[in-house]
Structure 1
Amino acid sequence: MTQVLASRPPRSSAPVTAGSGLPGARLRRTAHTVGGCLREARPLVQVMFVLRFATGALLTASAAHLRPNTAHLLLGALAWWAATVSVYVFNGVSDLCEDRANGSARPLASGRLTESAARRAVVVTALAALVFAGTAGWRVAEATAVFLTLGYMYSAPSIAAKCRSWSASAVTCAAAGTTYLAGLAACDGPVTSEVAVFAVVLSLGVGLIAAVAKDLGSTRGDALAGRRTLAVVRGERSARRFCAAAGGALALALAAGAVWVRQLPLEAAAAVLAVGALCVAGRCLAGQGGRGAPRAPYRSWMVTQYAVHLTALTALVWA
């Protein structure tokens, strides 16, 4: 676009060039910004949040023998996707200095996405999320507003729950729990024992494992930014051991809940979580001496979350 404006054509042809070139350039810039924001917001995380929403809705509908409103479910899922993008792009903006210090290749840290464009995207996606949620029902809209507020609390410089492991764990756990509740609200169902056990255990997993494991390998940038995460304060060895122990405890908790509730989706999910917890522990303990990829425990937990949710949804078909 700069070259087009710098080399001006003859006056007679200027209107044609401006009319045909500038809209195309704006469209390319918009597509570039959208793509950058989606990559900044981590596609796997976006899908995971929508999967949590869907699991909360469908487990509720199955346990309560409800026929959910398909339009409300789709609109609610769309609202949750937009809210997730808004929260994670805002997190990328707030983490810009730390990400650059840690050598991150994400669009914002690498300069492929400008900070001003990202900030505009945060506002647009937040408003879109509230509009979609409002059409899905007032309870979904309330949950969306809470989720956006939690996302702000996690990243905003004035509050920055991300700077301490305990507050980061509390906020991320609450955000995951709100996602399940939003799915429940979209199908207008009650809180059943099956949904409660599943949502509590998996939400705790987000707070106790994901929120701690994601900081492994980022201690340099986090320390420079003044963060007091578990990996910074106690060292990565302690953080790894904590994640391994948390995974085992949560696997036992979900197994106990499955025995209590006696429903196939929960029993199947408990079996998969047990295997996943062993994988997470193995990744954590294998890297205690500095060996292995720093992000391996986090990736292992992400795979475990996907497997647990997909297993629970598949079991609904057989139940």
Structure 2
Amino acid sequence: MPRLLDMPTATIRPLPVTAPSVPKHRIPRTPRTPRIPPISRIARIHRLLLLCFEESRPVVLAAFQLRYFAGIALAIASGPALTGRSVIQAVFGSVAWFGAIFYTYLYNGCMDYREDRVNGSARPIASGRLSRRTALTVARCSAAGALLTAACAGPGPLVLCTAMLLLGHAYSSPRTAWKNRTPAVMGVVFVSGLLTYAAGPLTLGVPPQSPALLLTALAMSLWMALVGAVAKDFSDIAGDAAAGRRTWAVALGERRTRVLVTVGACTVGGGFTAGALLWAPEQLPTACVVLAGAIALSVVTLAGRATDSRHERRRPYRYFMVTQHCAHLALLAQAIA
């Protein structure tokens, strides 16, 4: 048997292993987000602000500015002459009051979006053109700006502006929800009117105590509370009932509420005219405008029916708004003349 040691041995050499050639692919880069040009950003911000302005009811904003300047006009008639400093303070006060009312109604739109959708409202939040988050951010910025400018107008306007902001917040806030019952709404509206008529004179350093100012502030604030605060609900009965609100239009019925609005309008118009004859004859033209508007509003309100469209049910509130705009414009025109 041959020896195994004498057998030739084979050397095992490792074969070179080459990796298979894999085609090299480039890793796709994440596409960069296109940069928004500054002009597009400005246009977007401008559009959002316009939507917020629309949501905050421009007609109501104008009404509060007219009340503010009516207070100033009546204060000037019985107070000292204007100075450069008082004019600047009045401008700051006007901006502050605009911001406070802007916050109040924009915040209200954020809280009422469900009812507004049931009522078929075309306002930006209810229609989906403006997000609630954006509107709330703008509203809070407006409140901060109102306080800042009110501080520049003086301590009196700052106190009144703070009170107005708290009042507007409590009106719509879910924790308080004063908007749910008509008597609470009337109280909020009445106080907000008095605050507005007092804010203008205080920016001038004039106490709001002249008979003409007191009579006008009382009459027009009652016009807001007894007429506008009730008439606004005629077009929103469905949404208010769905949200569980106990407004007079829901609790008492539309017909009875229309009678109450008519009585309130005629009472304010007649009372304002009688008060002007007795204590402030210079306010008789303004009072006559309110009396004429009260008569026209009463006719339209009593002629309304339950089958009317939402636009037709809104007619008494439009007459209320037109009347107070005309009354304040007549007052300001008389003051300028």
Aligned match of 2:13: none
Aligned match of 1:38: 53
In 2, Cα distance between equivalents of 1:151 and 1:256: 32
* Alignment of 1:301 onto 2:320: yes
Aligned match of 1:207: 225
In 1, Cα distance between equivalents of 2:285 and 2:307: 35
* CA deviation vs aligned residue, 1:235-267 (integer Å, no higher than 9, x gap): 111111111110100011111211122342x11
* Alignment of 1:226 onto 2:244: yes
Aligned match of 2:334: 315
In 1, Cα distance between equivalents of 2:217 and 2:55: 26
In 1, Cα distance between equivalents of 2:266 and 2:156: 34
Q: CA deviation at 1:315?
A: 1.4
* CA deviation vs aligned residue, 1:207-241 (integer Å, no higher than 9, x gap): 11111111102111100100000000011111111
| Corresponding residue SS for 2:328 | helix
In 2, Cα distance between equivalents of 1:74 and 1:211: 28
Q: CA deviation at 1:178?
A: 0.6
Matches within 5 A, 1:55-134: 55-67=70-82, 69-134=86-151
Return the letter of the residue paired with 1:37: C
* Residues 66 and 189 in structure 1, CA contact (< 8 A), matched pair in contact too: no
In 1, Cα distance between equivalents of 2:104 and 2:170: 10
* CA deviation vs aligned residue, 1:164-200 (integer Å, no higher than 9, x gap): 0000110111111111111121121121111001001
Return the letter of the residue paired with 1:277: A
1:154 paired residue among 148, 162, 171: 171
**What is the root-mean-square deviation of aligned Cα atoms in Å?**
1.8
In 2, Cα distance between equivalents of 1:263 and 1:145: 34
Q: CA deviation at 1:22?
A: 4.8
1:193 paired residue among 211, 232, 241: 211
Q: CA deviation at 1:137?
A: 0.8
Percent identity of equivalent pairs: 34
Return the letter of the residue paired with 1:32: R
Aligned match of 2:302: 285
In 2, Cα distance between equivalents of 1:290 and 1:146: 40
Once the two structures are overlaid, the 10-residue window that deviates more, 305-314 or 284-293, is 284-293
In 2, Cα distance between equivalents of 1:290 and 1:118: 34
Larger radius of gyration: 2
In 2, Cα distance between equivalents of 1:204 and 1:66: 30
Aligned match of 1:260: 278
Aligned match of 1:244: 262
* CA deviation vs aligned residue, 1:276-301 (integer Å, no higher than 9, x gap): 00111011011045447000000000
* CA deviation vs aligned residue, 1:125-148 (integer Å, no higher than 9, x gap): 000111111111110111100111
* Residues 240 and 288 in structure 1, CA contact (< 8 A), matched pair in contact too: no
Return the letter of the residue paired with 1:308: A
